[in-house]
Amino acid sequence: MFLPINSEEARKRGWDELDVIFVTGDAYIDHPSFGIPLLARWLEFHGFRVGIIPQPDWKDRESFTVLGRPRLFFAVSAGAMDSMVAHYTPARKLRHDDAYTPGNRHGARPNRATIIYTSRLKEAYKDVPVVIGGIEASLRRFAHYDFWEDKVRRSIIFDAKADLLVYGMGELPLLDLAQRLRQGEPFGEIRHIRGTACIARGSEASPAGVELPSYEDVSSDKGKYAEAFRLISGEQNPHCARTVLQRHGNRWLVCNPPAMPLAEAEMDAVYALPFAKAPHPSYREPIPAYEQIKTSLTTHRGCFGGCAFCAITHHQGRFIQSRSIASVQQEVRRLTERNWFRGSISDVGGPTANMYGLRCGDASARSVCRRDSCLFPRPCRNLVMNGRAAADLLRKVRGISGVKHVAVASGVRYDLLIRQPEYMKELLAHHVGGLLKVAPEHAVDRVTTLMRKPGRQAFEAFLEMFRRESARLEKRQHVVPYFISGHPGTTLADMVELALFLRRSNLRVEQVQDFTPTPGTLATCMYHTGIDPMTGVAVYVPRGDREKRLQKSLLLAHLPGERATILQALRACGREDAAGELLGRAADAVRGLPRSRHGSR
């Protein structure tokens, strides 16, 4: 049975009042891949009456009252993506689709959805606490650079005027809050829950902890912004993190240490909840996000890679939290009982598929570690990364009756894969389907260092192993590499070197990701400040549509429509000598085009 989305459905359950009402910018898909249904089911499992208001009309206050007044609080999320990322391209152009909406239609949620939803709820129910969370609130919990306004904004809890912010994955802090409220503790007195942040007056803020440069300082001084980011990065390990404080005018943001990682038994309990594994029956159009994950399995969460452009570590955490193999097997057996299941599982993985079962092998080291990454600049000696558990998982999943094919679509860390021969053999023999997606992101070592990624040598070693193993298996398999253009530290000359590397390695890209400065990432800090906050060294930042367009085109030399733009890029950085190798005979056809007065077309 689905959780109620209106009063009539609540009454059918015999509920005349709900304890917690979730408001989300996504359609309601009762599947563990979506955060709000997962958290709502988690609270329901612990005895709370829970409802969901999916994609309310933010222009109509009444759409926020369809479930009435909750007894404890409203819980607000913009959805599975930051609403600004969902709405705009890296060129700040409006997108025309939304995979989390029926019919793939744009416009079902507002810009800055967390702020708008909270405002509407406060208008309708002034005395009901509002708790904000999800990826948008989580990554905007401190004063942060906003790419779409090109300025530093306050912590989102101030702009939303929310009563509490839950960051990270949310199961433990949200349950702790709900249970304490159920026991009669006043909301205003609950301030010290791990994985939460709140607002305090000067006299209320705890003196113990790490004080960041103030909002006023970071918004006016880029050096202070970089300092604040460095301090925040040092407080991500829940085993040793301290409270972090940041002054905003005469008030303080008080951010408690992160929630502890879920134990295996807790992960198993979460994914054993009675999800319908389907969109709410009120929807009459397909929802693309559901179609993509319909037969996928989440085996773990978290990532210890620490890539500069990625926010997973700041949201899901650096420690890998894995389900037991028995838990995953049970989910697969339930999946095979669905009348629409045809035998194919679309994905077995998490943020990085081959991190399943990996862990820190030294508890004493883990309790004091402040590294941003277990892999960069070199793998930590305490990291257990052999991949045997992940290989065993794949064998047991594909051995279940009713399963015909199992894919791994999550993507893999190739620098880990070369250290996991058993997993690599399983993967290439049974789970690739001809194409394996990996993300080297670049091949110039100075750039990959800024990205916190392994360099060219590691990628070349992986390519050699992949091709050798595929040949041994007598399989025609290929690597699909993903790269980023326009990342801080990347020049046009660097992109030329990358393009030449691709040509010489017989690789083609399917897509090139134009770097977008999303909230909370190291790369966004570099983009805004022009500084690597961890070293204090200045970083070149490519800006402007023209340079970003030229950088992106260099990786698409196999497309005829990009050839003239590629020659522009080569002329702009004095590398016309590379035209013949990149473009072949096509270079002669475009060399004759007249130069602009800037030396490009």
Q: How does DSSP assign 119-179, residue by residue? A: HHHHHH-TTS-EEEEHHHHHHTSSSEEETTTTEEEPPHHHHHT-SEEE-SS-HHHHHHHHH
User: Cα–Cα distance between 530 and 527 in angstroms, integer?
Assistant: 6
Q: Running DSSP on this structure, what letter comes out for residue 97?
A: B
The whole-number mean pLDDT for each consecutive block of 10 residues of the chain, a chain of 601 residues, reads 96 96 98 97 98 97 96 97 93 93 95 98 97 97 97 98 97 98 96 95 72 98 98 95 96 96 97 96 96 95 94 90 98 95 95 95 92 93 94 97 94 93 95 89 96 94 95 93 95 96 89 90 98 96 92 90 92 92 68 40 28
Q: What is the pLDDT of residues 287-305, one digit of tens each?
A: 999 999 999 999 999 999 9
- The per-residue pLDDT for 525 is 98
Q: How does DSSP assign 490-538, residue by residue? A: --HHHHHHHHHHHHHTT---S-EEEP---TT-HHHHHHHHSB-TTT--B
Phi, psi of 375 (to 5 degrees): -115, -20
**Structure-token pair, residue 324:** 């037991």
User: Cα–Cα distance between 388 and 323 in angstroms, integer?
Assistant: 15
Q: What is the pLDDT of residues 60-100, one digit of tens each?
A: 999 999 999 999 999 999 999 999 999 998 889 999 999 99
Q: Is 303 annotated as a binding residue?
A: yes
User: Cα–Cα distance between 4 and 13 in angstroms, integer?
Assistant: 8
Phi, psi of 244 (to 5 degrees): -115, 130
Q: Report angle CA 546, 549, 555 to the nearest 5 degrees.
A: 145
Half-sphere exposure (CA, 13 Å, Cβ side) for 351?
22
- The per-residue pLDDT for 600 is 33
- The per-residue pLDDT for 594 is 43
- The per-residue pLDDT for 206 is 60
152 bridge partner residues: 145
CATH 3.30.750.210 residue ranges in the chain?
295-431
The CATH number corresponding to 7-193 among 3.30.870.10, 3.40.50.280, 3.30.2350.10, 3.30.70.2190 equals 3.40.50.280
For β-strands 278-279 and 296-298, DSSP reports them as unpaired
* Encoded amino acid at 329, one letter: Q
On whether the CB atoms of residues 584 and 518 are closer than 8 A, the answer is: no
CATH 3.40.50.280 residue ranges in the chain?
7-193
**Taking phi first (over 0 means left), then psi (-120 to 50 degrees means alpha), and beta for anything else, what does residue 550 get?**
alpha
What fold does the segment set 295-431 form as a domain? Transcription Regulator spoIIAA (3.30.750)
Residues 6+ apart with CB under 8 A from 21: 50, 51, 52, 53, 67, 70, 74, 75
User: Cα–Cα distance between 563 and 554 in angstroms, integer?
Assistant: 9
325-336 vs 388-398: helix crossing angle, rounded to 10: 20
* Encoded amino acid at 449, one letter: T
User: Cα–Cα distance between 156 and 541 in angstroms, integer?
Assistant: 26
Say yes or no: domain 451-601 is CATH 3.30.479.
no
- pTM of this structure: 0.94
171-182 vs 35-45: helix crossing angle, rounded to 10: 40
